[in-house]
Structure 1
Amino acid sequence: MNAKILDTPSGPIRFPAYVPVTTFGGKYPLDGLIQPYLPRLAPALMVSHHYARQMREKPRLPVMIDSGGFAALFEGSKVLARKGLGILEIHLGEEPELLTPWDVLEFQEQHADIAFTLDFPIPPNLPIRDARRRQKLTIANACWALENRRRREMRLFACIQAWDSESARDCARQLAERPFDGFAIGGLVPRAWDWELLSSIVLSVRNEVGSRPLHIFGLGKPELAAKLFELGVDSVDSSSYVKAAADGVSWATGSKVPDPSVSDRLALALSNLALATGSTLPLSVGKLFPTRC
């Protein structure tokens, strides 16, 4: 049976929960416009380690901080092993940046209500040897974080990476033996087109972790989120609501605003998010909606 409520230092999260992804730092200005409305529209928010480091003030709702391990998919990134743990070398600027499980955990303990362990996505068609190596390091990082966390009130979710139901079951089984507060499955976005595969991975993990919370990264189209909730998933996160709005797309009507203005995009993003979370828009937001929408 699914957990109904997860208590966090910043308040309870009721499941099932649709969690919007946001960013800080100004790279995506629309996110900054949306953030004041999030406490009214969302049960929590998700932010990656990279953007969370640019957060100047903690939002007024539970904050989930992902490790940022998805950067393993960036061109030139390298997954390295050091003393049995996985480290990510990211090449975005002139100097490579290292993402380590200890740096991630230290930051999460200062800022997160729910933290996710440093994992390494396994894209389709990755050679099986490399896939197993990434999964092994993902498991090692999760176990290390559990053993070394100091802020006990912060909820710690172990990340699971897999390429099929059997590998998902094996990964989940090893992690389920330990007292994690919850679990999260990553690497499913490029597999979302294959519902049979997707559902088999989710069910394999659910069978191993029991009633503890189960989160899915990156799958937030409303129709797909609803199917995942029916399957036993407790929460999902996504930036789809704001990406659709940036393109002028309304989830509520299926229509598209041509050449949307900033206020159009904000109104659409809030409307899309309200639809996904089942929330009611504040009355003040109605003034933002364009008459042509």
Structure 2
Amino acid sequence: MAEGFAFDLQATDGRARTGVIRTPRGEIRTPAFMPVGTAGTVKAMLPGSVRETGADVLLGNTYHLMLRPGAERIDRLGGLHRFMNWDRPILTDSGGFQVMSLAELRKLTEDGVTFRSHIDGSKHALSPERSMEIQRLLGSDIVMCFDECPALPAEEAQVAESMRLSMRWAARSKEAFGDRPGHALFGIQQGGVTRDLRAESAEALTAVGFDGYAIGGLAVGEGQAAMFGVLDYAPEMLPRDRPRYLMGVGKPDDIVGAVARGVDMMDCVLPTRSGRTGQAFTRRGVVNIKNARHQDDPRPLDEDCACPACRAYCRAYLHHVFRSQEIISSMLLTWHNLHYFQEIMAGMRAAIADGRFEAWQSQFHAQRQEGDIPPL
């Protein structure tokens, strides 16, 4: 494991795990949810506010930052931590997923991907070597291998070809990453929803050797049942003594189900994006604050929540500012959602440590099934 980076697995309960990832910039308590700071900001939040929700680590996007403002510029300005005023760990993705989903006119070869920017049409190239260089310029603490991620559903032959290309790119990523004390490199398992391909991928990654391992290629349209089907075996294929990161997940139910199956880290834009579109996640399910039923409601979103939106504002006010398109709506609902997601993580960490994860999980699902409080 990279010098200055360590994973301390402290307790297990069934397949659920809790521990601490130690980095020179601070500890990451696991299971961990990483808010997404796509372009050097968690939208509608100040970095200090994100930290107040309980986040130990943020995610940054290689693709977005390389296009704007540019990795070399961020490096000249002191690196991403200084640039965005976040002094704790940052994980950066490799750019592969965004190239797949956002870039125009992309061309894939053994060497890498050439594509046109979705912003201005300018031409760019990404390879394992360039992805490692960009992430080094950004100064991220946890670096992801460059991979290719096909959208599901896809033909098994296509998934197999893509996975094997990603494994060759993983070896090149490791070589290009070099020796960087205090910085970790994670490999990414691919293979779609096919067990044999997942096993082949895990074997290839383990042979190269990484500081942590991600489960990639899920949450790309396959549905929760198929995702959980893969998670029933995929985490166990990866080394037990390294962190396991499920990329791009997800909804509260997805997160709890993933942790139950042995996952340590997750990220998703859902709590922030939903906050901006008037959706609040609560213990009792999703609340659509835009609905007219809230316009005269003096009660908080969630009376058991200690976030600023619930402590100081009522549903009627949150409904009003959302309908009026006031910026404070995005701020308050995003804060609430991130707070709730971190509350889930803290609850799971404590339950796993105490050996009562199953009971915690049952209560979590039972509360959500109750649905929102009745209208007044």
The interval holding the TM-score normalised by the smaller chain is 0.7 to 0.9
Written as runs of structure 1 = structure 2, the 5 A alignment for 1:114-193 is: 114-148=142-176, 149-164=178-193, 165-193=195-223
**C-alpha displacement at 1:78, in angstroms?**
2.3
For 1:207 and 1:152, the matched residues in 2 are separated by 28
Shift of 1:24: 2.3
User: SS where residue 6 of structure 1 aligns?
Assistant: strand
Aligned in 2, Cα 1:233/1:279: closer, same or farther, shift over 3 Å?
Answer: closer
How far does residue 58 in structure 1 lie from its aligned partner after superposition? 5.2
- Aligned position for 2:47: 35
Superposition deviation, residue 279 in structure 1: 8.1
Task: Quote the residue 1:102 is aligned against.
Answer: 129
How far does residue 94 in structure 1 lie from its aligned partner after superposition? 3.5
Q: Percent identity?
A: 22
Q: Deviations over 1:11-37 (max 9, x none)?
A: 111110011111226xxx871534331
Give the Cα–Cα distance (whole angstroms) in 2 for the partners of residues 125 and 221 of structure 1.
Answer: 20
- Code of the residue aligned with 1:200 in structure 2: it is G
**1:190 deviation in Å?**
2.6
Change (3 A) 1:30 1:119: closer
Structure 2: segments with no counterpart, 5+ residues:
1-11, 70-79, 291-322, 346-376
Distance 1:8 1:52, change over 3 A: farther
Matched residue type, 1:39: R
Measure, in 1, the Cα distance between the counterparts of 2:160 and 2:222: 21
- Please give the residue correspondences for 1:55-94 in structure 2 after superposition, counting only pairs within 5 Å: 55=80, 56-57=83-84, 59-70=86-97, 71-74=99-102, 75-82=104-111, 87-92=112-117, 93-94=120-121
Is the Cα contact below 8 Å between 1:249 and 1:268 reproduced in 2? Answer: yes
> Is residue 153–residue 221 contact of structure 2 (8 Å, CA) maintained in 1?
no
1:94 and 1:73 map into 2 onto residues whose CA distance is 15
Distance 1:206 1:48 in 2: 24
Q: Displacement of 1:213 after TM fit?
A: 0.9
Aligned mates of 1:181, 1:118 — CA distance in 2 = 15
| Distance in structure 2 (CA, Å) of the matches to 1:95 and 1:16 | 39
From 327, 351, 359, give the equivalent of 1:262. 327
Are positions 1:46 and 2:66 aligned together? no
Q: Cα RMSD (Å) of the superposition?
A: 2.3
Q: Secondary structure at the match of 1:190?
A: coil
Separation of aligned partners in 1, 2:171 and 2:31? 26
**Counterparts of 2:252 and 2:105 in 1: how far apart (Å)?**
33
Indicate yes or no: 2:28 matched with 1:13: yes
What is the CA-CA distance between 1:209 and the residue it aligns to?
1.3
**Equivalent residue, structure 1, for 2:277:** 247
Contact 1:225 1:236 in 2 (8 A): yes
Aligned positions of 1:161-240 closer than 5 A: 161-164=190-193, 165-195=195-225, 197-211=226-240, 212-240=242-270
Distance 1:141 1:38 in 2: 33
Shifted more, 151-160 versus 121-130: the winner is 121-130
Any idea what the Cα deviations from partners look like across 1:38-83, whole Å, max 9, x if unmatched? 222212011110234444345122100001101123453222112x
**How far apart are the structure 2 equivalents of 1:244 and 1:262?**
14
Number of positions where the alignment pairs a residue of Structure 1 with one of Structure 2? 272
d(CA) in 2 for partners of 1:125 and 1:222? 24
Aligned position for 2:313: none
Q: Using the alignment, how far apart are the partners of 1:95 and 1:107 within structure 2?
A: 17
Instruction: Say which SS state the counterpart of residue 105 (structure 2) adopts.
Output: coil
- TM value normalised by structure 2: 0.67
Does the C-alpha gap of structure 1 residues 190 and 107 become closer, same or farther in structure 2, counting only changes over 3 Å? Answer: closer
2:24 counterpart of 1:24: no
User: In terms of Rg, which structure is larger?
Assistant: 2
C-alpha separation in 2, matches of 1:32 and 1:264: 9
Q: Output the CA distance in 2 between the equivalents of 1:14 and 1:192.
A: 29
Check conservation: 1:52, 1:65, Cα contact below 8 A. Answer: no
TM-score where L is the length of structure 1: 0.84
